Amino acid sequence: MSQPGGSEELVLASDFGVLDRVDELAVRYGQLAGFDDGPLMEIAIAVVEAVTNAIVHGNKCDASKTVKMRIEWEPGLFGLTVHDEGEGFDLACVMDPTDPERCMETSGRGIYIMRQVMDTMDYEMGEGSGTTLRLTKALKPV
């Protein structure tokens, strides 16, 4: 009998070394939710990007700050929440990295990538309370 769903929460150091573990969890829970091949790879790409953004842009690689991550899954649905201790940003100011004038930039692609591969993306920012990102992806009917 398949499991109805579940969740896992982790508190991660602001260190790129956590990304291998994050990738493994994304693949594991994506598989449990029923995703395979391409969509599973997209989930892993997005989860790694979400935590990378939290480390780099949220916590500014400050080792004293942590990233909280929660993965929720159920058959046909994968959800991720990532919280950092950063000051937030204006989502409207995020530029399109595929714009020919910006395509050679060495940064600024994380949010664009997550938007492309996930179904929903929501940011919640409050003064002094950090930034919370929520991503979801649903299995497409065949």
- The footprint of another protein on this chain (CB under 8 A) covers a number of residues equal to 28
- Tell me the C-alpha distance between 107 and 110, whole Å: 8
- Tell me the C-alpha distance between 12 and 10, whole Å: 6
Polymer length in residues for the chain: 142
Q: In whole angstroms, how close is the CB of 110 to another protein at the nearest point?
A: 5
- Which one, 2 or 64, has the nearer CB to another protein? 64
42 contributes a contact to another protein by CB under 8 A: yes
Strand partners, 9: 70
71 contributes a contact to another protein by CB under 8 A: no
Q: Among 45, 94, 125, 138, which residue sits at the site for another protein (rule: CB under 8 A)?
A: 45
Tokens 């990295």, located at residue: 97
Q: Among 89, 97, 125, 139, which residue sits at the site for another protein (rule: CB under 8 A)?
A: 97
138 contributes a contact to another protein by CB under 8 A: no
- Tell me the C-alpha distance between 110 and 131, whole Å: 15
Which parts of 9-28 interact with another protein (CB under 8 A)?
Answer: 15-17, 19-20, 23
Q: In whole angstroms, how close is the CB of 24 to another protein at the nearest point?
A: 11
Q: Among 3, 116, 120, 129, which residue sits at the site for another protein (rule: CB under 8 A)?
A: 116
Nearest to 12 by CA among 121, 78, 85, 112: 85
From residue 110, alpha-carbon distances to 7, 52, 53, 117 in Å are: 24, 8, 7, 11
- Which one, 104 or 142, has the nearer CB to another protein? 104
- Which one, 37 or 127, has the nearer CB to another protein? 37
